[in-house]
């Protein structure tokens, strides 16, 4: 699939039936067949990423550094600066937090075109406890100069991002949430260059912005709101940095309320980007930011944790209605 060629609806629907790591692994294997210089640098996690074909057919493209995320980024940066297309999949909490100094220097200062892939972002590894919950990763990465921060809403969007970055490598971070959840928000297909906000649902009372797999919950929340005579639009935001401030201002021009929904801290992510963008807009509507609390909850499954912090569809709808003064029954 060449850059600029749309991803047809049949492909998006097929991709969305897969576990996100299978879609990731298959794409990286395909890219290894297509690109003369590709490196997938892993930190022990590689065996769970469906990379067997790459290890068999292109063993020189597979670099295992062990459980050493700082070394993982440094090795990938060296390869990237030598002309390799370097993909770096690892736990989101560790590749952004533990290796932040390497990210800041190698990708920010040296501009090494490393493509970090944050696995188990948000509450995906919630059963392992707070150590493995990545709810501040986007905030960290948004502070690094020149780093593209991406948050796909489904597997089709993930594949488009991977292919676009393979065609035009640059410092980037892709955070994957809800890896095991089947979600297909781009039923009509997806342009190969899709990185801009996309309106998935129209409405006039409330404008909801969401990013990542939690877009599915936000879409269901809009359905709930409709039953309460509240018309809500939903705009999916795949790119958190650079943030499309102009698109945000246009989308919110006539709404009574603006809402951000993210499986991330309310500080530093989508909500903060929206607040920054709207700070210069004259008479902007109020902004309600919905995200994860600063103190991580106790270990549990992702669905249970989303329910606990009111980030499932019912919780999102209830928060919006409470803000407007008409709570959900």
Write out the two tokens for 244: 């499309």
Task: With a cut of 90, say whether residue 6 has pLDDT above it.
Answer: no
Q: Say what the pLDDT of residue 100 is.
A: 98
Q: Say what the pLDDT of residue 329 is.
A: 42
Q: Say what the pLDDT of residue 4 is.
A: 45
On whether the pTM is more than 0.85, the answer is yes
Q: In angstroms, rounded to a whole number, what is the distance separating the alpha carbons of residues 78 and 187?
A: 39
Q: Say what the pLDDT of residue 258 is.
A: 96
CATH of region 9-175: 3.40.50.970
Mean pLDDT of 49-59: 94
What average pLDDT is seen over the chain?
A: 91
Beta pairing partners, 63: 41
Beta pairing partners, 259: 208, 288
Assess contact for 43 and 72: CB atoms under 8 A: yes
Q: Say what the pLDDT of residue 252 is.
A: 81
Q: Say what the pLDDT of residue 189 is.
A: 67
Give the tens place of pLDDT for each residue, 142-190.
999 999 999 999 999 999 999 999 999 999 999 999 998 888 787 666 6
User: Which residue did the predictor score with more confidence, 189 or 235?
Assistant: 235
Write out the two tokens for 57: 């057919």
Residues 6 or more apart whose CB falls under 8 angstroms from that of 104 comprise 144
Mean pLDDT of 25-48: 92
Write out the two tokens for 259: 């809402």
Residues 6 or more apart whose CB falls under 8 angstroms from that of 287 comprise 257, 258, 259, 260, 271, 274, 275, 278
Sign, CA dihedral 97-98-100-106, equals: negative
Task: With a cut of 50, say whether residue 2 has pLDDT above it.
Answer: no
Give the tens place of pLDDT for each residue, 241-281.
999 999 888 888 788 999 999 999 999 999 999 999 998 87
Q: What percent of the chain has pLDDT over 70?
A: 93
Choosing among 2.40.50.140, 3.30.930.10, 3.40.50.1820, 3.40.50.920, the CATH entry for 198-322 is 3.40.50.920
Q: Can you say how many angstroms the Cα of residue 96 is from the centroid of all Cα atoms in its chain?
A: 14
Write out the two tokens for 203: 């409405």
Q: In angstroms, rounded to a whole number, what is the distance separating the alpha carbons of residues 149 and 129?
A: 25
Q: Among 82-96, 204-218, 314-328, which is the least confidently predicted range? A: 314-328
User: Which residue did the predictor score with more confidence, 129 or 45?
Assistant: 129
Q: Say what the pLDDT of residue 224 is.
A: 97
3-state secondary structure of 134: strand
Q: Say what the pLDDT of residue 1 is.
A: 32
State the pLDDT confidence band at 56, using cuts at 50, 70 and 90.
Answer: very high
Q: In angstroms, rounded to a whole number, what is the distance separating the alpha carbons of residues 229 and 120?
A: 36
Domain range summary for the chain, segments of one domain joined by +: 9-175, 198-322
State the pLDDT confidence band at 193, using cuts at 50, 70 and 90.
Answer: low
Q: What percent of the chain has pLDDT over 90?
A: 79
Give the tens place of pLDDT for each residue, 71-127.
999 999 999 999 999 999 999 999 999 999 999 999 999 999 999 999 999 999 999
Write out the two tokens for 223: 């359905």
Q: Say what the pLDDT of residue 326 is.
A: 59
């Amino acid at each position: 699939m060449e850059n600029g060629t749309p991803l047809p609806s049949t492909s998006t629907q097929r991709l969305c039936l897969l576990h996100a790591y299978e879609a990731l692994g298959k794409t990286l294997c395909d890219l290894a067949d297509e690109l003369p210089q590709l490196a997938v640098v892993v930190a022990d996690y590689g065996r769970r990423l469906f990379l067997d074909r790459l290890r068999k057919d292109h063993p020189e493209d597979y670099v295992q550094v062990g459980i050493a995320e700082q070394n993982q980024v440094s090795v990938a940066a060296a390869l990237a600066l030598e002309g390799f297309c370097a993909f770096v999949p690892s736990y989101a909490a560790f590749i952004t937090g533990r290796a932040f100094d390497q990210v800041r220097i190698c990708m920010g200062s040296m501009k090494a075109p490393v493509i970090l892939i944050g696995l188990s972002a948000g509450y995906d590894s919630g059963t392992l406890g707070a150590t493995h919950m990545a709810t501040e990763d986007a905030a960290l990465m948004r502070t690094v100069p020149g780093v593209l921060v991406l948050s796909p809403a489904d597997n089709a969007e993930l594949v488009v991002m991977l292919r676009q970055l393979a065609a035009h490598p640059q410092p980037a971070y892709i955070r994957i949430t809800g890896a095991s959840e089947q979600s297909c928000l781009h039923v009509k297909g997806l342009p190969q260059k899709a990185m801009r906000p996309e309106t998935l649902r129209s409405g006039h009372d409330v404008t909801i912005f969401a990013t990542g797999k939690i877009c599915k919950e936000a879409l269901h929340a809009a359905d709930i709101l409709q039953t309460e005579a509240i018309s809500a639009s939903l705009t999916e935001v795949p790119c958190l940095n650079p943030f499309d401030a102009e698109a945000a201002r246009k989308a919110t021009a006539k709404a009574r309320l603006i809402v951000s929904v993210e499986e991330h801290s309310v500080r530093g992510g989508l909500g903060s980007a929206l607040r920054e963008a709207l700070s210069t807009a004259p008479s902007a509507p109020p902004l309600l930011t919905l995200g994860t609390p600063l103190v991580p909850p106790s270990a549990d499954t992702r669905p249970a944790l989303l329910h606990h912090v009111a980030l499932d569809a019912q919780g999102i709808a209830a928060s919006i209605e409470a803000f407007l003064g008409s709570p959900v029954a």
